[in-house]
């Protein structure tokens, strides 16, 4: 009985306390949302990061239990948003909000009983950019007049700017700095003969209209809608299949024929910016992609044949995908596609912007662009040494021997186009070439020479004095990353102080000590930008004895007094900035990757095969594993020339779709464990037959094991820095140095020995010391 009395008293006390709490809460304000319900309601932006909204609109989502949705209201900056226009699904409400102010905007979600639920701040930026890439490049040349016959919008009444003409084309009505145009839509169809043609204006079905079988197994008419416009000053486009019966009623957003997959098409090349770029129908309307039913997003800002500022490129890709999502919805997945510089962008953006892509298919890849300048800058220094400085040495007139210095493949297969003229002018020449000549000749002046460059339509910029002042270098294209030196020019990261060219050949006994010392004493380096002069033949002018200069020797630091030639030095802050801004791919990428390439070493193509493995090793170094990266090689055919091989891109798209399907069904499982049986390291014949596949087919490249079946079939070559003792990753701009005295005793030279006189010479060549490749780049931040 006492126990019952106590319990009754306790219950009464609790009830009184609860009644007091409720009364107090009513007096102080509305009820707070119960925690269980609060956790089930979310407000998010689907089209971009909330801090990186552009263009004044955004696709948002409200996640809430179906029974609570009618009780929710949304305001933007205090004004109500009509949730009746939002599309409802099992899990959420989804719709596009418009009218965002530039700067911060506040979204508030309110429950009719429990009050405020969520607040989300959206920071809106102009569709012309920038968002995070810093001050925009100027001069900037508009290309929409030459590409589409469309004059850009006037955004300045006076220069500087791109001249804008009236409809008649005879009067300047103003100037454009943003190169903006209104979006426009066109329709095209694929013919049975494999061409693109405009859809007839009368809508009559063409007799030569082709059909395509999509990846989902549907056979449909091959008709495509293409939207084009400008984002972040560049030309963008979206393309996808449409039903021709709906064209008359299409407001530009019909998605009935889209299979939900998005391909972001990246483009390669090398350029120095200052232009809007040329729209590529070949890539923006890739028939292999569209034929599967995938949509394509494309921007000239993601063509490295327009610029190589991958901060601007990453920003542009995010903005371009953002508008796609706002117009068409969230894709099932987004896969990157593109070769060379297009492959670089996938690796770099996959590292820097992990929400941009869900998967990557890099073709003819490199890890990044900036680290290619390290060994590419060596090419002409070494070719000049063999052709000119050491011209009387017959050793270098044997084509194969040249690989001992440059590392890249060398062959007589293609012949040497400069053989006769070099001999006639008193220089040496081999009958064949290294990859440096047909693939990389001209890259050093393009990247390093501030006088060597230009873009189309430059004459339409006013004032022309702005054009004359452009520093045409890769470093200036990224001036906010490299920084500006005391001489007013962009800093450089490239460096060859302490590099021992031909070290591996010396260690193996293929060259002697005197040869090794001579090349390192006389190879030289590149003059600073402030001392560079314009190029000669074959770049500019005629092949006269005074103007013949395929090596750019006029911009080299050489020695003619017997003293070691100067080397060029990189700026430590510039190198550090390249890492910190993500311009260097250091290996952190968390998505399925099919790295595919047609093997073109026999024709000395610039897309050398070792790059796929340089990337793999960087991923391993950073993540401990690279099992989510698959490498495919294919023969280019019996000729050997590209173009006769099977469609490896189409195969990769189908395999990646299977891989992504597995991930979407089981996202908690590791990427590598979700990959299908066909997503493994493989090498193919040119007709698509599998030569070998499996875990060890590339053995012997990144390990000390025996040669794998694919390694034997497709030999992989090196670079000048690997031949100088550097790592396959190729990511050491400025090596840390060790004294020559230490190198002589720590195994750097293997079993080779120097005489006392040679040691004295070696020390004079490298007074600061020689590279210690057991240590990271001298400019690499400790946390990367």
pLDDT in tens, 475-484: 999 999 999 9
Reply yes or no on whether the pLDDT at 640 is more than 80: no
Please work out, in degrees rounded to the nearest 5, the angle formed at the alpha carbon of residue 316 by the alpha carbons of 494 and 181.
125
Q: Where are the domains of the chain?
A: 35-125, 372-448+494-569+735-771, 584-723
Tens of pLDDT, residue by residue over 227-236, are 999 999 999 9
Reply yes or no on whether the pLDDT at 66 is more than 80: yes
Q: What is the DSSP letter of 41?
A: -
* Cβ atoms 228, 182 nearer than 8 A: no
Query: pTM (2 decimals)?
Result: 0.94
Average pLDDT over residues 62-78: 94
Average pLDDT over residues 253-267: 97
Length reported for the chain: 784
Distance CA 593, CA 358 (A): 10
Helix, strand, coil percentages (3-state) for the chain, rounded to 5, are 30, 20, 45
User: Kind and range of the H or E element at 333?
Assistant: strand 333-339
In order, the DSSP letters of 364-408 are S--S-STTHHHHHHHHHHHHHIIIIITTT-GGGGSGGGGHHHH-S
Confidence at residue 562, expressed as pLDDT on a 0 to 100 scale: 80
Q: Between 310-328 and 341-352, two packed helices, what is the crossing angle to 10 degrees?
A: 80
Tens of pLDDT, residue by residue over 432-487, are 999 999 999 999 999 999 999 999 999 999 999 999 999 999 999 999 999 999 99
* Cβ atoms 463, 159 nearer than 8 A: yes
Question: With pLDDT > 70 as the criterion, what percentage of the chain qualifies?
Answer: 94
Reported as half-sphere exposure (CB side, CA atoms, 13 A), residue 65 has a value of 8
First-to-last alpha carbon distance for the chain, in angstroms, is 72
DSSP helix/strand/coil, 151 = coil
CA 424 to chain centre: 43
Tens of pLDDT, residue by residue over 361-403, are 999 999 999 999 999 999 999 999 999 999 999 999 999 999 9
Nearest to 443 by CA among 267, 271, 268: 271
- Name the band, by pLDDT with cuts 50, 70 and 90, for residue 705: confident
Place of tokens 């020995």: 753
Regarding beta strands 333-339 and 87-88, do their DSSP bridges make them parallel or antiparallel, or are they unpaired?
unpaired
User: Kind and range of the H or E element at 722?
Assistant: helix 720-723
CATH 2.60.40.10 describes domain 35-125: yes
In order, the DSSP letters of 742-758 are HHTTTTTTTT----HHH
* Cβ atoms 237, 279 nearer than 8 A: yes
Place of tokens 């294209």: 477
- Name the band, by pLDDT with cuts 50, 70 and 90, for residue 90: confident
Confidence at residue 561, expressed as pLDDT on a 0 to 100 scale: 82
Tens of pLDDT, residue by residue over 123-153, are 999 999 999 999 999 999 999 999 999 999 9
């Amino acid at each position: 009985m006492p126990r019952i009395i106590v319990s009754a008293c306790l219950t009464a006390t609790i009830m009184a306390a609860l009644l007091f709490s409720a009364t107090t809460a009513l007096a102080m304000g509305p009820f707070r949302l119960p925690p269980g319900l609060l956790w089930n309601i979310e407000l998010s932006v689907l089209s971009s990061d909330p801090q990186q909204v552009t263009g004044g609109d955004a696709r948002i989502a409200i996640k809430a239990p179906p029974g609570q949705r009618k009780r929710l209201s949304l305001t933007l900056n205090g004004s109500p948003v009509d949730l009746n226009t939002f599309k409802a699904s099992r899990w959420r409400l989804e719709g596009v909000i418009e009218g965002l102010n530039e700067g911060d905007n506040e979204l508030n979600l309110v429950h009719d009983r429990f009050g405020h639920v969520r607040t989300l701040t959206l920071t809106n930026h102009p569709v012309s950019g920038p968002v995070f890439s810093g001050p925009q490049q100027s001069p900037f040349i508009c290309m929409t007049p030459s590409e589409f016959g469309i004059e850009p919008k006037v955004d300045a009444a006076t220069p500087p700017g791109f001249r804008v003409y009236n409809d008649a084309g005879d009067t300047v009505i103003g100037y454009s700095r943003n190169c903006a145009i209104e979006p426009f839509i066109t329709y095209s169809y694929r013919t049975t003969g494999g061409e693109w043609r405009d859809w007839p204006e009368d809508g009559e079905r063409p007799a030569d209209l082709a059909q395509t079988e999509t990846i989902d197994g549907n056979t449909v008419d091959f008709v495509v809608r293409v939207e084009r416009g400008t984002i972040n000053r560049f030309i963008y486009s979206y393309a996808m299949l449409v039903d021709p019966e709906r064209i008359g009623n299409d407001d530009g957003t019909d998605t009935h024929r889209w299979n939900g997959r998005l391909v972001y098409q990246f483009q390669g090349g090398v350029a120095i910016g200052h232009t809007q770029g040329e729209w590529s129908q070949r890539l923006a309307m890739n028939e292999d992609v569209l034929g599967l039913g995938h949509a394509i997003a494309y921007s000239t800002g993601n063509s490295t044949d327009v610029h190589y500022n991958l901060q601007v490129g990453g920003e542009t890709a995010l903005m371009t995908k953002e508008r796609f999502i706002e117009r068409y919805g969230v894709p099932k997945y987004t896969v990157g596609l593109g070769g060379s510089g297009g492959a670089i962008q996938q690796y770099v953006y996959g590292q820097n912007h992990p929400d941009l892509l869900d998967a990557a298919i890099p073709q003819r890849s490199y890890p990044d662009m900036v680290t290619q300048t390290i060994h590419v800058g060596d090419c002409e220094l070494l070719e000049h040494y063999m052709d000119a400085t050491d011209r009387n040495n017959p050793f270098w007139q044997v084509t194969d021997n040249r690989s001992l210095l440059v590392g890249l493949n060398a062959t007589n297969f293609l012949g040497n186009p400069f053989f006769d003229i070099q001999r006639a002018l008193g220089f040496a020449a081999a009958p064949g070439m290294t990859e440096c000549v047909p693939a990389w000749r001209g890259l050093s002046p393009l990247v390093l020479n501030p006088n060597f460059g230009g873009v189309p339509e430059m004459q339409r910029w006013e004032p022309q004095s702005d054009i004359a002042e452009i520093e045409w270098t890769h470093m200036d294209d990224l001036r906010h990353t490299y920084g500006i030196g005391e001489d007013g020019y962009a800093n450089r990261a490239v460096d060859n102080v302490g590099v021992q060219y031909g070290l591996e050949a010396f260690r193996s006994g293929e060259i002697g000590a005197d040869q090794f010392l001579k090349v390192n004493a006389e190879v030289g380096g590149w003059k600073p930008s402030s001392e560079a002069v314009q190029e000669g033949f074959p770049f500019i002018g005629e092949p006269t004895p005074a103007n013949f200069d395929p090596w750019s020797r006029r911009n080299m630091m050489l020695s003619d007094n017997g003293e070691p030639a100067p080397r060029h030095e990189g700026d430590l802050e510039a190198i550090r900035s390249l890492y910190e801004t993500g311009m260097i791919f250091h290996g952190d990428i968390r998505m399925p990757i099919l790295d595919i390439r047609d093997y073109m070493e026999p024709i000395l193509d610039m897309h050398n095969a070792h790059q796929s493995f340089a990337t793999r090793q960087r991923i391993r170094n950073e993540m401990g594993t690279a099992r989510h990266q698959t490498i495919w090689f294919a023969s280019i055919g019996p000729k050997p020339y590209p173009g006769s091989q099977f469609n490896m891109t189409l195969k990769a798209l189908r395999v990646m779709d299977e891989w992504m399907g597995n991930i979407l069904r089981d996202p908690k499982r590791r990427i590598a464990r979700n990959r299908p049986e066909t997503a493994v390291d493989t090498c193919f014949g040119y007709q698509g037959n599998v030569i070998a596949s499996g875990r060890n087919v590339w053995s012997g490249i990144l390990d000390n094991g025996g040669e794998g079946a694919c390694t034997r079939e497709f030999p992989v070559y090196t670079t000048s820095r690997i031949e100088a003792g550097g790592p396959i990753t190729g990511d050491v701009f400025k090596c840390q140095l060790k004294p020559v005295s230490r190198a002589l005793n720590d195994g750097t030279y293997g079993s080779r020995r120097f005489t006392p006189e040679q040691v004295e010479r070696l020390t004079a060549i490298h007074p600061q010391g020689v590279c210690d490749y057991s240590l990271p780049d001298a400019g690499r931040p400790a946390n990367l």
